[in-house]
Structure 1
Amino acid sequence: MRYDLKKEILDWIKSIAFALIIALAIRTYIFEPMIVPTGSMIPTIQVGDRILVNKYIYRFEPIKRGDIVVFKYPDDPKQTFVKRVIGLGGDEIEIRDGQLYVNGNLLVEPYLKEPMIGDFGPYKVPEGHYFMMGDNRNNSKDSRFWENMYVPKKLIMGKAVYRIWPPGRIGRLE
């Protein structure tokens, strides 16, 4: 039996190319890992946490209040942000005495580390748009402060679903 080095190399190149194409397709359309560079989502997500973003979920289910999403920043779409969905299209958002109200009802938020400071709103979220806030409310550049305060659905990249780093805090994001 004769060993054909040229055929062996070609087979390896084909296998590696196929694996790269599959990996790129998964990263582009299904799941993408991301590193969180800021503390706007503390305590839920810490600076430097690595998260997995589910990029296909919103093709099958609607975006819900409370989802943690990754999106293009409406004032500069070159930047990517991670925040929690607070307001859906048609909602009225208001902060009074550090308490968040959605459509006149107090929103219970057990994920916050401290009460908010100040009053904001009321804001009426346009249809097809979302109002975003970080969990670290007193240190979060979010919808309250943006020039384009509402995020259109087309800028939402996916749902942050899982923390994959650091090892001691691996788990689902809620």
Structure 2
Amino acid sequence: MASRGSATREVVQTLLVALVLALVIRAFVVESFLVDGISMEPTLHDGERLLVDKLSYRWRPPQRFDIVVFRYPLDPTRDFVKRVIGLPGETVEIRQGRVYVDGQALEEPYLAGRVPDFYPPVTVPPGHVFVLGDNRPHSDDSRSGWTVPMRDIIGRAWFVYWPPAEAGLVPHP
């Protein structure tokens, strides 16, 4: 029969290992994120909680249409969630609500509708991405004159876990 002291020590060791594993997982693998605002509707909704995959971009760069969480370039203390539209070296423009990348119109089935919008051609700098919200009339995004440095991308939105009725993989067309 184990003594009370060794049982207590075993519980403390188990809790410490669990804590270290949780911290390592949060730092390098997956992190929780709260959607704050309506800029990604109808894909993501205000108040939803996401799991963000922090590993994917260690092996490959973000792809067009990925939904990413990143540090807001104008205030790095804030995190934003948006969709990647333009990749480094590409030219992005918006005419009559349609997005064009290198002159080719994008198909954007995730939008609830198009609104008249215009954004002059801009070339995405090396090491950056151009991002847009899915709810364009209510989104602070790259149309405001900034792009996202790759180093500021926290990860790819992967799974909605709250509220339970909305739980599931984040759609990536």
- TM-score bracket relative to the smaller structure: over 0.9
Mean CA deviation greater in 112-121 or 72-81:
112-121
Please name the residue that 2:21 is paired with: 22
CA distance in 2, matches of 1:16, 1:97: 57
Deviation at 1:117, TM superposition (A): 2.7
Partners of 1:93 and 1:102 within 8 A in 2: yes
Deviations 1:64-91 (A, max 9, x none): 0000000001111110000000100011
What TM-score does the superposition give when structure 1 sets the normalisation length? 0.94
1:53-132 equivalent positions in 2, closer than 5 A: 53-132=52-131
Partners of 1:98 and 1:116 within 8 A in 2: yes
Please name the residue that 1:161 is paired with: 158
Partners of 1:40 and 1:137 within 8 A in 2: yes
Q: Name the Cα RMSD after superposition.
A: 1.1
CA distance in 1, matches of 2:99, 2:93: 6
Partners of 1:94 and 1:120 within 8 A in 2: yes
What TM-score does the superposition give when structure 2 sets the normalisation length? 0.95
Deviation at 1:61, TM superposition (A): 2.1
> Is the partner of 1:144 in helix, strand or coil?
helix
CA distance in 2, matches of 1:62, 1:152: 12
Is 1:34 aligned to residue 19 of structure 2? no
Structure 2, unpaired ranges of 5+: none
Deviation at 1:31, TM superposition (A): 0.7
Deviation at 1:107, TM superposition (A): 0.5
Please name the residue that 1:44 is paired with: 43
Q: Which amino acid aligns with 1:122?
A: P
Q: 4+ runs of 1 displaced by more than 2 Å?
A: none
> Is the partner of 2:143 in helix, strand or coil?
coil
CA distance in 2, matches of 1:9, 1:161: 38
Please name the residue that 1:152 is paired with: 149
Partners of 1:117 and 1:138 within 8 A in 2: no
CA distance in 1, matches of 2:11, 2:158: 35
CA distance in 2, matches of 1:116, 1:31: 35
> Is the partner of 2:93 in helix, strand or coil?
strand
